[in-house]
Amino acid sequence: MTLDSALLPDKTRSQKRAAVNGFATWKGLKSPLADCTRTDVSEWVQSLRAAQLATPTLANKTSYLKAFFAWAQTAGHVPVGDNPAQGQVKYGVREKRLRRKLGFEAFNPEQLAVIYGPAFATLRKDIQLGALLGLYTGARVSELGQLRLDDFVFQDGLPCIRISAEGLGQSLKTDASERSVPLHPRLIEWGVLRHVESLRKDGQTRLFPRTKVGSVNGHGNFLSAAFGRYIKSVGIEPRVGKVGFHSLRKTVVQTMQSAGVPSEYRAQFVGHELGDEHHAAYSRRYSMLELANKAHAAVSFDF
């Protein structure tokens, strides 16, 4: 029941392998996979709780185990049916409140003015590029860090970035993460496309050539760390929770929400999954022109 890392080729493969192999060791390495039950997973989770693992850690581990069982069912290793890891870890009301309170905070206008003020010009070009892409696309730092130059495409006549798992070393957090995002006019003005063309002429294939393919900490680790050091250096501190590159994503989502952008547009723009099955079954994807018209008017920051 051990797991070959080659079966999980994304940025968190080591964590996923550790979670699945941890359950396998607890259950017994010689136990048939088909014999694993919901009770087994529940008891494993309780053993981890007894070891003082926090709920977010348990949620991650069970989500990895759930994905493994889903793969095993699809591959025919176990009969298709109930996933024994489904719904095993849930946040209590108090935990949900704390996660909202102590999680990443969105930046307010005053903080954005400082972050993208005069000191911004002192950053390396690639860090500036990543910080601007994060602010105007709401993309995850790992999604930006793994971008290839051929992910810059034109759709509906608009320049876009394509976020997918098609390239070498690329991966996605969820199926909903696969998307195209129209580039905001401010990014064009800043010279993103000129920078991409310059990299192509230099023989590069990746937007961030210094990114290590297959890095355990994720393709955007260098960008996240550099941005974190920068905002600390200019005095950006959290009010209650924490701030970092992920705050840009939260800023984009909340800015669109405040501007009245419907949830379907917001979800497609940032790669979120809508929980309503009606949307998944009956809704269509918006065109890049439709998405740009809704999102770009909202995601327009003055600094």
Q: What is the mean pLDDT of residues 251-268?
A: 95
d(CA 277, CA 131): 34
Q: What pLDDT, on the 0 to 100 scale, is given for residue 282?
A: 62
Of residues 166 and 98, more confidently modeled: 166
* Fold classified for 109-298: hpI Integrase; Chain A (1.10.443)
Q: What is the mean pLDDT of residues 44-62?
A: 89
d(CA 144, CA 142): 5
Sheet holding 179-182: strands in order across?
152-155, 158-163, 179-182
Of residues 166 and 291, more confidently modeled: 291
List of E strands, the chain? 152-155, 158-163, 179-182
Longest dimension (CA), the chain: 61
Q: What pLDDT, on the 0 to 100 scale, is given for residue 151?
A: 97
* Fold classified for 5-95: DNA polymerase; domain 1 (1.10.150)
Residue 248 tokens read as 């840009």
Least confident of 4-13, 65-74, 127-136, 201-210: 4-13
Ramachandran assignment for 301, one of left (phi > 0), alpha (psi -120 to 50 degrees), beta (any other): beta
Whether the predicted pLDDT of 220 surpasses 70: yes
Whether the predicted pLDDT of 251 surpasses 80: yes
CB atoms within 10 A of CB 154: 10
d(CA 258, CA 117): 24
Whether the predicted pLDDT of 276 surpasses 50: yes
Percent helix / strand / coil, the chain, rounded to 5: 55, 5, 40
Residue 52 pLDDT level (bands cut at 50, 70, 90) = confident
Q: What pLDDT, on the 0 to 100 scale, is given for residue 2?
A: 46
Residue 49 tokens read as 């709780």
The length of the chain, given as a count of residues? 303
Whether the predicted pLDDT of 12 surpasses 70: no
Give 179's strand partners: 163
Residue 273 pLDDT level (bands cut at 50, 70, 90) = confident
- The domain segmentation of the chain, as residue ranges, is 5-95, 109-298
What does the pLDDT look like over 80-123, one tens digit per residue?
Answer: 888 999 889 887 767 566 556 558 999 999 999 999 999 999 99
Residue 19 tokens read as 């979670």
